[in-house]
Amino acid sequence: MKSINSLIKEINELESQLDQKDFLLTWEQTPAELERVLKTAKVLKTMRAENIATNVFNNGLGISLFRDNSTRTRFSYASAINMLGLAQQDLDEGKSQIAHGETVRETANMISFCADAIGIRDDMYLGAGNAYMREVGEALDDGVKEGVLPSRPALINLQCDIDHPTQSMADLAWLEEHFGDLKELKGKKIAMTWAYSPSYGKPLSVPQGIIGLMTRFGMDVTLAHPEGYDLIPEVVEEAKKNAVASGGSFTQVDTMAEAFEGADIVYPKSWAPYQVMGKRTELLRANDEAGLKSLEQECLAQNAKHKDWHCTEEMMKKTKKGEALYMHCLPADITGVSCKEGEVEEAVFEKYRIATYKEASWKPYIIASMILNRKYANPGTILQQLLDDDKKRVK
Amino acid sequence: MKSINSLIKEINELESQLDQKDFLLTWEQTPAELERVLKTAKVLKTMRAENIATNVFNNGLGISLFRDNSTRTRFSYASAINMLGLAQQDLDEGKSQIAHGETVRETANMISFCADAIGIRDDMYLGAGNAYMREVGEALDDGVKEGVLPSRPALINLQCDIDHPTQSMADLAWLEEHFGDLKELKGKKIAMTWAYSPSYGKPLSVPQGIIGLMTRFGMDVTLAHPEGYDLIPEVVEEAKKNAVASGGSFTQVDTMAEAFEGADIVYPKSWAPYQVMGKRTELLRANDEAGLKSLEQECLAQNAKHKDWHCTEEMMKKTKKGEALYMHCLPADITGVSCKEGEVEEAVFEKYRIATYKEASWKPYIIASMILNRKYANPGTILQQLLDDDKKRVK
Amino acid sequence: MKSINSLIKEINELESQLDQKDFLLTWEQTPAELERVLKTAKVLKTMRAENIATNVFNNGLGISLFRDNSTRTRFSYASAINMLGLAQQDLDEGKSQIAHGETVRETANMISFCADAIGIRDDMYLGAGNAYMREVGEALDDGVKEGVLPSRPALINLQCDIDHPTQSMADLAWLEEHFGDLKELKGKKIAMTWAYSPSYGKPLSVPQGIIGLMTRFGMDVTLAHPEGYDLIPEVVEEAKKNAVASGGSFTQVDTMAEAFEGADIVYPKSWAPYQVMGKRTELLRANDEAGLKSLEQECLAQNAKHKDWHCTEEMMKKTKKGEALYMHCLPADITGVSCKEGEVEEAVFEKYRIATYKEASWKPYIIASMILNRKYANPGTILQQLLDDDKKRVK
């Protein structure tokens, strides 16, 4: 990996407005801003490997709000704020008085008097998650403007209905590590494909995040899914525009086989059809238990028609030299391991298991990087300071 | 705000025994002790604003025990211990073996081997919450005396059946900020009035805390509530005595209108009748679900007779120049926002929304101040040390 | 207590491989290794008493996974990682995606990117708890070998189906404190006996931990329980071997009275029969609610036949000079206090109450010591460094 010094030098040279906006969608950020986040994450990861303390806060809270289950993202966020010196405080809406009709605006201020970061996962409601985050962000801006809050906490999108930026950026960091340089990604073919899973209602944010981000770097991005498993149309349009702008391409095909053909990277993963997520949102809002149950049955039956969307060794043979890099946000539904029939064959997953772990290992550093880039006009200065202090993380 | 130096000087001059007793009821503290807590809180708030680290602990636990839901108090406590350098550990009686008949005395010691603060919210049982805190305090004293505990954790009353000192002291700090000086409060009229809410069983500790504390500073405190919504008689007696001693007054009237008449400050808030809370306690102890349900119905019906106890723009016109300061511990039941008919009209709440946020913003610093005043004979010395160290909170 | 300096000197002279293996069973450690853990714990406890900061980590996570309720162990673990500078992150399998079929291997890596310690309590499943910990340990080794994890977290057994090393080591530390020196334990008689409790399904790990550890130090260990309340046979064999090797003895008798006869120390505690725990494991695995209910009834009825296994003042008279030291891991089932009829008479418990608190007070330091001994080839060097730094824990 590049030396910390040269990375800091590169960070200092990148233009960025990330200290003035929340990083809620990757396609709202400039290429330079994306690179800043990647390089800052790289420095943080290298510093940890070299036992250099990265605490920039002597105290402060890093608040988390999870509106969906999570292990990886929860631990990644906890790791990120911890490496910066913040303490986690979870806002559990079950326990809290929010359940009693408290407004978002008020809550956002009440929890933030001593907060430096707020991470939110809200991916259940189509059309609501990202909107909720922006509402929180505005409340925080207002709180600072009105003199209620001493400082503006960094708002981190830990997965919404539209994008999963900490995941896609971690994926990108892994690709950069794997292929040696971002420039190497130019012209590489990545196949983001649907895959069969016995579960249902998986968010669209991962595939959307991938096509929305990978099209920024001149990659040939191919999306494939069975009929009816569409993504949010606006995001698909975003991907098309990105591909044109970056000199890459965005293609949609109808089978996993076509998508895998000659691919350098494959990302086979299950998700729920956009339309189903829409219905589900209405039913969740209406607390229609019966409706949700029947929608689930309906959707599982629909999934079952597409068990051939299976990442097998046969399928992998179609990829470039049969050696494409397999990616997954984890946990994968592994046939014969975590389920009877799933997204990927055990032999394929096993071959790339360690690779997927390394892919995941970037997330804590990406989140910490996003916080630093939100708090500091130039995190390079701070990273240099940490380097000069040379305080050990572990005695 | 006054400079940190002059505040520290004032703190050094105030007599206090707060390092030898727990701050469980404001009326057990001398005026000088109350001022010490206020000024220490002010210094801590100013230090944060000026990015000065306030960590006095390099490690140690701040334990929390919430026997009732809480967002604000939970985050305020978490913020307070964090700014001092402690880590939160929640004692969840649901999860813990306390449910299996463990004695208070034993638990108090078992959780405190490395604890420097214990915050307890126990406001559900009339006659039990404050008593429980004292029982814990005695167990901690015993543990230190017997050589079980290396040091005495500060016990913080995060709301009990009798008082809500962190709330009332935060309210007082806000009044001091708003009116410029504690002396300015002398002769000011504050109306602590009941207000209609569709909910029921709200603790008495806020109104009791307000009449018990604001009568200490020569204010003209007026209490108003519908017939049958009495507070604990002993606390009302306390308020009367305080008023005489401080040269203020304590008046009880029968309508919101009378209370608002010429008021400088209004605090309209719902609470459950003292007698109902008593019944409720028995039923809760007896786990009488049916009894609780019918008591709730009965009480809600009773509330519904008093919907005219509503803080409207009309009502506000009765206050001094129609410009009284509206206060609330939050969340308020806002008519048309958080409920159909509630405590306050939206227009009134909106006008004072930011004011109520600023009111709430004092709580973390009040709690941290209480901990410092319990741990140190003179927190002024410690604050001076922090000032001299001049360590940044954020790099 | 010995001076810190002399203890560090002794630590430096003790051979240990504890930095290369997890401390999962006391009988897998050499006598020198056990002594290293005891002495390191002593230094940490003394440093806290002398207000010397023991933070060796500037950041890092200490993960906890509790598969059974816990107050003491939870707080002991939280205290241990906190005194070293780590932040707790609880892995709640209820909330997490582990429930959705994620493999142990994957989870172990996903939570450990920034973890320095992982504490696991898994005592419900006979034959599974300790095995699970080893599986996690292997996954962590693999993660480090493959370059997924920057460092190997220390794995701490917070109670499994076989042993409860943090408890038994804390008990040993207490005995050393009480009798002045480990050598003083040679030839002392300790009676580990079953006692009646109205509850059921209590793990075997405490009695197994006691007979497995106390036989290492030349003590005369006597085990007594009603017919059918056997411990795991392999552990009993372990105890026999240990006794021979250490020049002590291991005896099994059929009544509490025989066991108490001339004892220097008594440890009367309830546990479930080995066979019952086996059945229970099958039923838990099969989610057989009805089966579990009937097993519980059956077991409680069986317990009820042995109410005479009661630690009374009469019974205590049989011990050496009637003054044996009473021990318990807490909470004890105290007759007339925590239950109608239980393990111990109130008068006996009251006499030794403070002693049992002091026994418990060692656990946080034992856990912290285990972490230091896993992370450092020689914790003596680190402790010396902390001593030289002489940073105050509390300003």
Contact C100 A331 (CB under 8 A): yes
C122-134 b/e (C-beta count within 10 Å ≥ 16 → b):
bbbbbebbbebbe
Chain A residues bordering chain B (beta-carbon distance below 8 Å) = 56-61, 87, 89, 91, 95-103, 106-107, 109-111, 113-116, 143, 146-151, 375, 382, 385-386
The helix or strand, by DSSP H or E, that contains position B65, with its residue range, turns out to be strand B61-66
Inter-axis angle of helices A165-179 and A346-360, nearest 10: 100
- The arithmetic mean of pLDDT across residues B158-173, rounded, is 97
Question: What local confidence, expressed as pLDDT, does residue C1 receive?
Answer: 58
- CA gap C375, C255 in Å, rounded: 44
| Burial zone of B251 (CB within 10 Å; 0-12 exposed, 13-18 middle, 19+ buried) | middle
Nearest Cα neighbor of C210 from C174, C184, C255, C253 is C174
Q: Residue B100: pLDDT band by 50, 70, 90 thresholds? A: very low
Neighbours of chain C (3+ CB pairs under 8 A): A, B
CA C96 to chain centre: 27
Residues of chain B found within 8 Å of residue A58, distances taken between Cβ atoms: 53, 55, 391-394
Q: What is the reported pLDDT for C100?
A: 40
- Does the structure show a pLDDT above 90 at C34? yes
Cβ–Cβ below 8 Å for C88 and B91: no
User: Who contacts A357 (Cβ-Cβ below 8 Å, separation ≥6)?
Assistant: C106, C109, C110, C143, C146, C148
Token pair 């109608």 is at which residue? C340
> For position A102, what pLDDT does the model report?
54
3-state secondary structure of C222: strand
Residue contact B48–A116, C-beta within 8 A: no
Burial of B329 (0-12, 13-18, 19+ CB in 10 A): buried
Q: B-chain residues within 8 Å CB-CB of C48? A: 114, 150
Cβ of C71 within 8 Å of Cβ of B382? The answer is no
**Residues of chain A found within 8 Å of residue B70, distances taken between Cβ atoms:** 95-97
Over range B5-24, report the average pLDDT: 97
Residue B102: what pLDDT? 54
- Residue A109 to residue B76, Cβ atoms within 8 A: no
Query: Does the structure show a pLDDT above 50 at B142?
Result: yes
Burial of A118 (0-12, 13-18, 19+ CB in 10 A): buried
How far apart, in whole angstroms, are the C-alpha atoms of residue B80 and residue B84? 7
* Cα separation values, A343 from A269, A357, B18, Å: 6, 17, 63
Q: What distance in Å separates the CA atoms of residue A365 and residue A387, rounded to the nearest whole number?
A: 17
Q: Which of A266, A256, A163 is nearest to A213 (CA)?
A: A163
Average pLDDT value for chain A:
94
* Yes or no, beta carbons of C87 and A85 under 8 Å apart: no
Are A199 and A338 a contacting pair, CB within 8 Å? no
Contact A60 B70 (CB under 8 A): no
> Which run of H or of E encompasses A277?
helix A274-285
Is residue B334 helix, strand or coil?
strand
- Banded pLDDT at C114 (limits 50, 70, 90): very high
Residue in chain C lying closest to B147 (CA): C358
List C223's β-bridge partners, or say none: C192, C252
For residue C97, pLDDT beyond 70: no
pLDDT value for C98: 43
Lowest-pLDDT choice from A2-6, B180-184, C185-189, C221-225: A2-6
Mean pLDDT score across all residues of chain B: 94
Task: Tell me the CB-side half-sphere exposure of residue B108, using CA atoms within 13 A.
Answer: 24
Q: Please determine, for residue C188, whether its predicted confidence score (pLDDT) is greater than 90.
A: yes
Q: How far is C210 from chain B (nearest CA, A)?
A: 21
Structure confidence at residue C71 as a pLDDT band (50, 70, 90): confident
**pLDDT tens per residue across span A44-74:** 999 999 999 999 999 999 999 998 778 899 9
Searching chain A, which residue's CA lies closest to the CA of residue C384? A395
Q: Can you tell me the distance from the alpha carbon of A307 to that of A198, in angstroms, rounded to the nearest whole number? A: 9
- The ipTM is 0.95
| The two structure tokens encoding residue B387 | 């000032």
pLDDT of residue B1: 58
Per CB-CB distance under 8 Å, the chain A contacts of B55 are 58-59
* B–C CB contacts, 8 A cutoff, strictly below: 110
Contact B78 A89 (CB under 8 A): yes
Mutate which of C106, C118, C385 to disrupt the A interface (most A C-beta within 10 Å)?
Answer: C106
Q: Which domains can be identified in chain B, with CATH numbers? A: 4-162+363-389 (3.40.50.1370), 167-359 (3.40.50.1370)
Question: What confidence score (pLDDT) does residue A259 get?
Answer: 98
Nearest to A75 among C110, C147, C149 (CB): C110
Positions in chain A whose pLDDT score sits under 70: 1, 94-102
* pLDDT at residue number C249: 98
Residue corresponding to tokens 């009374």 = C312
| Residue A196 CA neighbour count, 13 Å, CB half | 22
Rounded to the nearest integer, the mean pLDDT of chain C is 94
The alpha carbon of residue A306 and the mean position of all alpha carbons in its chain are separated, in whole angstroms, by: 26
pLDDT band at C63 (very low <50, low <70, confident <90, very high): very high
Instruction: Look at C150 and A76 and tell me if their CB atoms are within 8 Å.
Output: no
Closest CA to B267 of B182, B167, B183, B338: B167
Closest-CA distance of chain B to residue A231, Å: 35
SS3 C337: coil
Q: Which residue of A has its CA nearest to B360?
A: A110
Closest by Cβ to C69, choosing from B58, B97, B110: B97
SS3 A389: helix
φ, ψ at C250 (rounded to 5°): -130, 120
pLDDT in tens, B194-252: 999 998 889 999 999 999 999 999 999 999 999 999 999 999 999 999 999 999 999 99
Those residues of chain B whose CB sits closer than 8 Å to some CB in chain A are 48-49, 53-55, 69-72, 74-76, 78-79, 82-85, 87-88, 199, 330-331, 333, 337-339, 353-354, 357-358, 360-361, 363-364, 391-395
Whether cis (ω within 30° of 0) applies to the bond prior to A207 is no
Which pLDDT does position A101 carry in this prediction? 41
B contact test, residue of A19, A58, A107 with most B CBs within 10 A: A58
Cα B315 from chain centroid? 26
Residues C334-366: pLDDT tens digits? 999 989 999 999 999 999 999 999 999 999 999
**Nearest residue of chain A to residue C375 (CA atoms):** A394
pLDDT in tens, C285-312: 888 999 999 999 999 999 999 999 999 9
DSSP-derived letter for residue A119 is E
Task: Find the chain B residues whose C-beta atoms sit closer than 8 A to any C-beta of C.
Answer: 56-61, 63, 87, 89, 91, 95-103, 106-107, 109-111, 113-116, 143, 146-151, 375, 382, 385-386
Nearest CA in chain A to C145: A354
CB–CB of A96 and B85 under 8 A? no
Judged by CB atoms closer than 8 Å, whether chains meet at C71 and B91 is answered as yes
Is the CB of C74 less than 8 angstroms away from the CB of B96? yes
Interface-testing mutation among A91, A102, A103, A114, with chain B (most B C-beta atoms within 10 A): A114
Q: Give the model confidence (pLDDT) of A104-163 as tens digits.
A: 899 999 999 999 999 999 988 888 899 999 999 999 999 999 999 999 999 999 999 999
**Between chains, do C57 and A354 touch, taking CB under 8 Å as contact?**
no
**Measured distance CA(B282)–CA(C307) in Å, rounded:** 34
Backbone φ and ψ for B251, nearest 5 degrees, come out as -125, 145
Peptide bond into B150 cis (omega under 30): no
CB-CB: which of C55, C82, C85 is closest to B114?
C82
Nearest to C276 by CA among C226, C240, C237: C226
> Tokens 């990616």 identify what position?
A327
Between the CA of residue C100 and those of A190, A299, B14, C249, what are the distances in Å? 28, 19, 60, 48
